[in-house]
A and B are shown apart, each in its own frame.
Chain A
Amino acid sequence: MRRGVLIYNLLFLAVVFNYRASAQTGDSTKLLNKVTVSALKKKNNFTAATPLQSLNSETLQQLNAPSVGDAARYFSGVQVKDYGGVGGLKTVSVRSLGAAHTGILYDGIPASDVQSGQIDLSRYSTTFVQSLDLQQAQLRQLLQPARAYSYGAVLAINTPVMYVNTFAGKQWRAGLKAGSFGLWQPYGGVQLPLARNMSVNISSEAVFSKGDYPFTIENGPDSEKSRRQNAGMRSLQGEINVAKLFDDSAVLQVKLFGYHSNRGLPGTVIFYNDRSVQHLWNKDLYFQTRYRRSLGKHTGFLTAGRYSNNYTRYTDPDYLNNQGGLDNRYTQREAYAATAIDHKIDDRITIAASSDVSYAWLSSNMPAFVQPTRWSFWNNMSLQFNGRLWQLTGSLLLSTVNDKTTTGTAAATINKLTPSITGNLRLGERSPFMMRLFYKHVFRMPTFNDLYYNMIGNTSLRPEYARQYNAGLVFSKQFSDALKHLTIGIDGYYNLVNDKIVAVPNKNLFSWTMLNLGRVDIKGMDVTAELSGQITGAVSWFSRIAYTYQRAIDITNPASVYYKNTIPYTPDHSGSGLFSLQYGRWSGGYSLLFSSTRYTIGENNPFNMLDGWGTQDAFLSWAKNMKAFRMQIKASIDNLLNKQYDVVRYFPMPGRSFKISLQLNNL
């Protein structure tokens, strides 16, 4: 079977390349439009067929959100599992589907973690992010890698290299942030135009944090008032991008990205036991490239490739075994290639196809490790109809996954066709209202940890399926003066997760296993509003409000005590707000985040309930153009009221903290 798909992929590539060759021999020089790049330049979320939320670099600055994981909390429909502090793991679950259903696109190319299925978003700093987009179901443009169609929702991280200003002259930026709990964060970036329509962009950032913030864990007279221990973190990341704009407006981007980190893992706060000696090292290196061009007036072509190497080392010197502790090392590698093409048949119909292949492998120093490898193929076909006021898109994705292991049995080959259909309708040429609907069926593969982890893994796992239904209404209008612009989006959704992969201690408490044990019924509503205006000539304001209501209940087994109980770590109500003002050189803002109560395990009783929480942040910044550069100074306070709370039980979050930053950049 696998061979068949491989041949199909090769055929597909052959067809595409032939087409490209023949197009080039035609009058391709006439096609000097800048569609390729400028299409990425401006987004109007209002016209998106599926719910799209976006935070641009300006808004990210106002949110005091150091990492993408922190920023994602401001999106509606999103739950960030946050283990606290600068070095704490942060993963994103959209609409209660779980982190493994969220795709992460970094500059247009999917990032993946085949070992755990979830990507730690605390690793992605927001400093150089130009735009962070969360899109449900389907990306706006059809010309995408097929893998981008495979997710329940996509979080796209875009740096400046994805934008047209890549070629717009010399730019530079350097800064330093300093904050509570020993935080130092220097960064710098430069973009230079080169000869022959090329440009180079280099950026780097380091983070040093002690992370020893105070916390209180309630345990009656034995309550613990302490500081986080072993929470130190050092990281360095950097990337080099080279882009070339060809005469026919084709764009080639090449990126080399590296990330090193070295951190203590403070771990759960365990009553009467304050020992913490576990340590984690990460070394990530990847190379990715993306080439996009037009093949004739009506045809777009995209090809992308990526090679990544992720090394993880985890130590626990206290672990009581005969080797004097644990020292686990994993290396995960993936080679990935994608090809996509779209073609406008006429004014109303666009067709698109894409085909991706990935080969991933995991090795470890663990004894009896089965060294799993995985071939994955994604093939997607999409058809889009455009009316004057409406758009209808259907996609069909074929996913094929084949695993091999050196010893033992590997998981069975998976072949699945999953459809999606999206539609939107504006209620009139000048109407501020737009309706949208989508249905999407997705699945996630069991990860290597799910399948092959020593004693825990279960090779007979099936994929986890999710069906998503969404209906929404958007209102967007431009006014004048004080309220210049208002956009409100309301979406109701229903998700049904089948064969949910859960860890179950079915042997004894020390040897858990993974099972397809679960049906989850999720009903929810996302509300997002963006408002902005000009109070007087000099004072402008911006506000963003997001609210999520959801009921995510376990409907696996009517006989269990937690039938129809809320699934763990899913609040009924959560949301965020931001309000900022700008006056000349000054800008200031206030933001808040809140969550209602949650349960830590499936059985909902007061003992397993975790209090709701709310935090508030504020900032003030001042900027001035000097002779040779622009200077900005910003001061911020996080968690103004010093609220003590846990997102994950017994992983206390930081209380009030301060940060001051200085940034210099070109005029």
Chain B
Amino acid sequence: MRKFRFLLPLVAIMAGMASCNKDDVAKEVPVVTTGVYVLSEGLFNNNNTTLTYYDLGTGTAVTDYYANVNGAGLGDTGNDLLLYGGKMYIVMNASSNVRVMDAVTAKSIKEIKFETPGGAKRLPRYVVAYKNKILVSAWDNSVAVIDTATLEIEKNIAVGANPEQMVVSGDKLFVTNSGGITPGHDSTISVVDLNTLTELRKITVGLNPNCITADSANNVYVGCTGDYAAVGPKLVKVNTLTNTVVKSADTAVGKIRYFDGKLYATGGYLGSAYIRALNTADFSAMGANFVTDGTQITMAYGLNVDDTSGDIWVTDAKDYVSSGEVFCFDKGGKKKFSFKVTPGLNPNTVAFIRK
């Protein structure tokens, strides 16, 4: 049997190679002071949603803050993040829950599951707050009402098909009913009375509404994606007092935010490398690109406005399969700074920590 001894080192080498593990990555837990959180949704079915804390004082970014604190990952496809009443709410679409954590320590407080009594997943999408409640749109044609003290779902308000973004204007909630990615889509927004928590009416705006923002003069602006083919994208302005469409134009927008008399928008469903500031009356762009200093964004994916400073924060998804980046611009469209959210993929939301 001596002849087979030469096999032994070979087996040892094979076993050694097979057991090569990745090095443990340092788990940094920063002290949260003045800064922002960035939610990166990751890739669908990859369980790689991450939370970045960016410290404005030191200029350092820590990813994944949630996993470093809690030892577990957030899960799959985090769509939205909200800071409200000392808590942080992260809406996890594919994991089908809302993760509630402390706004400063990021310590998990509760996982609010989104499922039907039969166990089917409701797939939540976006979150807004109103008077100690948070409202979460879910793809099962509803908006869930969650009490911020009990953290229980108190009610589900029936709306249109596959609701996406929502906005509060006065004591009403406006919900975009996208109709999902099935042909036909939906074309309406739902108007929900926030006192009775019931849908009052639907307003037809355009095919496949996805994003929405409200101004301070009783108007909401709805971005409609169209059907990715024959029907193109639209931007629609709705008066919330008369519930009528007051302006509709073939303007493509991805994410849209109203601030200080202007609409800030990313480029729309075809994606774009630039940001525009639009006139609220005729949707005309104030310059071809809001960014005036030549800063290159690859794929503007999320847009948030810091309403205390007026800074515009843009998340860059790059090619969607490599680590994202976040840019902070001043009102004049000049870059203040930027940072990477490595290894976070597809950053979509920036939230400002107010203490």
Contact = CB atoms under 8 A, between A and B. Distances in A.
A614 B181 contact: no
B76 interface: yes
Contacts of A650: 45-47
Interface string A555-581: 000001110000000000101010100
B44 A596 contact: no
B343 A594 contact: no
B246 to A, nearest CB: 28
A296 interface: no
Contacts of B31: none
Interface stretch (A37-45, A146-154, A603-611): A603-611
B14 interface: yes
B271 A506 contact: yes
B22 A611 contact: yes
B169 interface: no
A322 B161 contact: yes
A608 B342 CA distance: 11
B227 to A, nearest CB: 9
What is the predominant secondary structure among interface residues of chain B facing chain A?
Answer: loop
B76 A614 contact: no
B45 A614 contact: no
Contacts of B19: 612, 614
Interface stretch (A183-191, A217-225, A425-433): A217-225
Contacts of B179: 322
B337 interface: no
B76 A271 contact: yes
Contact of B21 (A560, A562, A602, A611): A611
Contact of A597 (B20, B94, B270, B318): B20
A607 B47 contact: no
Contacts of B22: 597, 606, 609, 611
Given A270-B45, A560-B319, A220 B18 contact: no
Nearest to A547: B14
A320 B162 contact: yes
B139 interface: yes
Contacts of A560: 319, 322
A318 interface: yes
Nearest to A368: B183
Given A219-B73, A455-B228, A596-B18, A506 B320 contact: yes
Interface stretch (B113-121, B195-203, B235-243, B275-283): B113-121
Given A322-B179, A577-B14, A595-B18, A505 B46 contact: no
B61 interface: no
Contacts of B232: none
A83 to B, nearest CB: 12
Interface string B42-75: 0111111000000000000000000100111111
Interface string B205-230: 00000000000000000000000100
B123 A320 contact: yes
Contacts of B96: 272-273, 275
Contacts of B181: 455, 510-511
B180 A320 contact: yes
A507 interface: yes
Given A511-B228, A575-B14, A596-B20, A273 B75 contact: yes
B8 to A, nearest CB: 12
Interface string B33-44: 000000001011
A605 B121 contact: no
Chain B interface category by residue count: 35 or more
Nearest to A317: B120
Contacts of A222: 71-73
Contacts of B75: 270-273
Contact of A323 (B182, B270, B345): B182
Interface in B255-291: 269-271
B199 to A, nearest CB: 17
B111 interface: yes
A409 to B, nearest CB: 13
Nearest to A269: B47
Contacts of B149: none
Contact of A482 (B3, B92, B113, B122): B3
B46 A600 contact: yes
A577 B18 CA distance: 13
Contacts of A507: 228, 269-271
- Taking each of B111, B139, B180, B322, which has the highest tally of chain A beta carbons within 10 Å of its own beta carbon? B322
A667 interface: no
B183 A273 contact: no
A592 B25 contact: no
Interface string A248-270: 00000000000000000001111
Contacts of A609: 22
B41 A483 contact: no
B20 A612 contact: yes
Contact of A577 (B11, B72, B322): B11
A220 B94 contact: no
A565 to B, nearest CB: 10
A326 to B, nearest CB: 9
A614 B14 contact: yes
- Taking each of A277, A482, A561, A602, which has the highest tally of chain B beta carbons within 10 Å of its own beta carbon? A561
- Taking each of B111, B181, B321, which has the highest tally of chain A beta carbons within 10 Å of its own beta carbon? B321
A285 interface: no
A509 interface: yes
Interface string B305-318: 00000000000001
A606 B23 contact: yes
A211 B154 CA distance: 39
Nearest to A614: B18
B184 interface: yes
Nearest to A270: B76
B202 to A, nearest CB: 15
B320 A594 contact: no
Nearest to A593: B18
Interface in B117-134: 119-123
Contact of A612 (B17, B47, B323): B17
- Taking each of B71, B115, B319, B343, which has the highest tally of chain A beta carbons within 10 Å of its own beta carbon? B319
Given A561-B323, A601-B321, A271 B95 contact: yes
Contact of A270 (B94, B122, B322): B94
A504 interface: yes
A614 B15 contact: yes
B139 A320 contact: yes
A271 B108 CA distance: 15
A323 B47 CA distance: 28
Given A595-B18, A612-B19, A270 B47 contact: yes
- Taking each of A322, A508, A602, A650, which has the highest tally of chain B beta carbons within 10 Å of its own beta carbon? A508
- Shortest 8 CB-CB contacts between residues of A and residues of B: A614-B18, A220-B71, A607-B343, A222-B72, A271-B75, A594-B18, A220-B72, A321-B182
24 contacts: A220-B71, A222-B72, A267-B45, A269-B47, A270-B95, A273-B76, A273-B96, A321-B161, A321-B182, A504-B321, A506-B320, A508-B271, A509-B44, A547-B14, A561-B318, A573-B17, A577-B11, A596-B18, A596-B20, A597-B22, A600-B46, A606-B23, A607-B25, A612-B17
Interface of B: 1, 3, 7, 10-11, 14-15, 17-23, 25, 41, 43-48, 67, 70-76, 92, 94-97, 111, 113, 115, 119-123, 139-141, 161-162, 179-184, 228, 254, 269-271, 318-323, 342-343, 345-346
Given A220-B73, A509-B43, 5 more contacts: A509-B44, A561-B318, A601-B345, A608-B343, A612-B18
